[in-house]
Amino acid sequence: MEYFTYTDCPYPIREDIKREHRQFWHRLANPGSWWTGAERVAIAQEVRNATRCNYCAERKTALSPFTFEGQHRHAGELSDVIVDAVHRIITDQTRITQSYVNKNAENGLSNEAYVELAGVATAVFSIDEFHHALGLEVEILPEPKLGQPSHYRPSQAVSGTGFIPMLPRDGATRLESDLWQSDRTANVLRAFSLVPDALRDWKQLSSAQYLSMEGMTNMVKQEDRAINRLQMELIAGRVSAINECFY
């Protein structure tokens, strides 16, 4: 399947952004660590359904999202528990609680599967919003590839910091040695580390759409960026405030 080349976009788009977007869609179609390719693509579809879900819009205005009942707009390919998790991550993420994550696990959505789901949802939403900002149609989702998930879980993952287990600061070792250097990391990186490939997806997209981990040390301007670091952080800070980002 061919994806957008952005040739009809009135704005110049860097080649690394185009490349990372295309590569993510290819990876999305393949089996992951805890979901099949078909399930991963179905999760991506629910990301888009969530943005047009009347129930989500009404629930977001409720005093508590856990006392408001209704029916999500969904494609019917995933269970109610999975659909609700995707929709909450996209529309009401600031009110996700430890008890909600625990209840999902009791209902069959394990911590590992939840992290991969969140990784897919975050990446798809990020790319889609890039398209929306430029007035472009979103990409057609890829055809899923056959195969089974690997069920790989890094043995060094521990609980105690967030709602789900993650690698400790010094835990980027063995197969995870590429995730960060030594023990120099942050919780925003560790959050996806229970599913290393989800973190790898996030890092690759973030490196193109924002900055690489190495680029974070450049406080002036990266040569291939149109705006300087101060301007980038001003925009990032404003977007974070609007989205009620914990960070």
CB atoms within 10 A of CB 247: 7
Q: Write down the pLDDT at residue 1.
A: 58
Taking alpha carbons only, the member of 130, 117, 103 closest to residue 192 is 117
Tokens 């089974």 correspond to 148
pLDDT for res 232: 94
Tens digits of residue pLDDT in 144-191: 999 999 999 999 999 999 999 999 999 999 999 999 988 788 898 899
Dihedral angle sign, alpha carbons of residues 13, 139, 45, 35: negative
CB atoms within 10 A of CB 210: 14
Q: Are 112 and 150 contacting, i.e. CB atoms less than 8 angstroms apart?
A: no
Neighbouring CB atoms inside 10 A of 150's CB total 11
What are the boundaries of each domain within the chain? 15-209, 216-247
Identify the band that residue 36 occupies on the pLDDT scale cut at 50, 70 and 90.
Answer: very high
Tell me if 62 sits within 8 A of 236, measured CB to CB: no
Give this prediction's pTM.
Answer: 0.94
Res 53 pLDDT > 80: yes
Q: What is the pLDDT of residue 182?
A: 82
Both tokens of 38, joined, read 């078909």
CB 104 within 8 A of CB 81: yes
Give 37 or 244, the one with higher predicted confidence: 37
**Whether the Cβ atoms of residue 84 and residue 55 lie closer than 8 Å to each other:** no
3-state secondary structure the chain: CCCCCCCCCCCCCCHHHHHHHHHHHHHHCCCCCCCCHHHHHHHHHHHHHHCCCHHHHHHHCCCCCCCCCCCCCCCCCCCHHHHHHHHHHHHCHHHCCHHHHHHHHHCCCCHHHHHHHHHHHHHHHHHHHHHHHCCCCCCCCCCCCCCCCCCCCCCCCECCCCCCCECCCCCCCHHHCCCCCCCCCCHHHHCCCCCHHHHHHHHHHHHHHCCCCHHHHCCCCCCCCCCCHHHHHHHHHHHHHHCCCCC
Higher pLDDT, 241 or 193: 193
Q: pLDDT digits over 77-102, tens only?
A: 999 999 999 999 999 999 999 999 99
